[in-house]
Amino acid sequence: MGSMSRRDLLRGLATGAVLAGVATLQPEPARAADGPPISESDPAAKAVKYVEDAKQAKGAAPGSTCANCALYQGKEGARTGLCQIFPGKSVVAAGWCASWAPQI
Ligand code: SF4
């Protein structure tokens, strides 16, 4: 009996360690000026089919990425930047979403 509960405890600890490992696999924190990166699984991101890699986007016009979107606010050459449709959150310059709009 005692060994069973000890095994359960160890299993619980192992699960916790796995979850902690997943947590540390998150992308590196964006610089404060950018705000935290929006996740592709965020409901707001899903609503506009946001992806971090425009090449994976279905329906993206060839060559369209966040970096050349009218709603992107990142600096030229930066890996990430703020996007007007995700207030306070950053997007990947190489990403894309269905709200992509050409710069005028
Ligand atoms: Fe990227 Fe533009 Fe969509 Fe924002 S609106 S996520 S900058 S494509």
pTM score of the predicted model: 0.70
Given pLDDT bands bounded at 50, 70 and 90, which one contains residue 31? very low
Backbone φ and ψ of 24, nearest 5°: -80, -10
Nearest residue by C-alpha to atom 3 in ligand 1: 97
Here the tokens at position 11 are 């299993």
Ligand 1 pocket test, pick from 52, 72, 84, 89 with the greatest ligand atom count within 8 Å of Cβ, gives 72
- The upper half-sphere exposure of residue 104, i.e. CA atoms within 13 Å in the direction of its Cβ, equals 1
Nearest residue by C-alpha to atom 1 in ligand 1: 66
Tell me what the mean pLDDT of segment 8-30 comes to: 54
Given pLDDT bands bounded at 50, 70 and 90, which one contains residue 88? very high
Given pLDDT bands bounded at 50, 70 and 90, which one contains residue 104? confident
Task: Give the DSSP letter of residue 51.
Answer: B
The 10s digit of each residue's pLDDT in 42-87 is 999 999 999 999 999 989 999 999 999 999 999 999 999 999 999 9
Which alpha helices (DSSP H) does 25-94 contain, by range?
43-47
Beta carbons of 80 and 90 less than 8 angstroms apart: yes
Residue 10 is predicted with a pLDDT of 57
Tell me what the mean pLDDT of segment 27-33 comes to: 51
Closest CA to 52 of 12, 5, 94: 94
Ligand 1 pocket test, pick from 84, 99, 103, 104 with the greatest ligand atom count within 8 Å of Cβ, gives 99
Ligand 1 centroid to 77 CA: how many Å? 16
Residues 6+ away with beta carbon under 8 Å from 58:
49
Ligand 1 centroid to 22 CA: how many Å? 27
Q: Is 48 exposed, middle or buried (0-12, 13-18, 19+ CB in 10 A)?
A: middle
Give the chain's mean pLDDT.
83
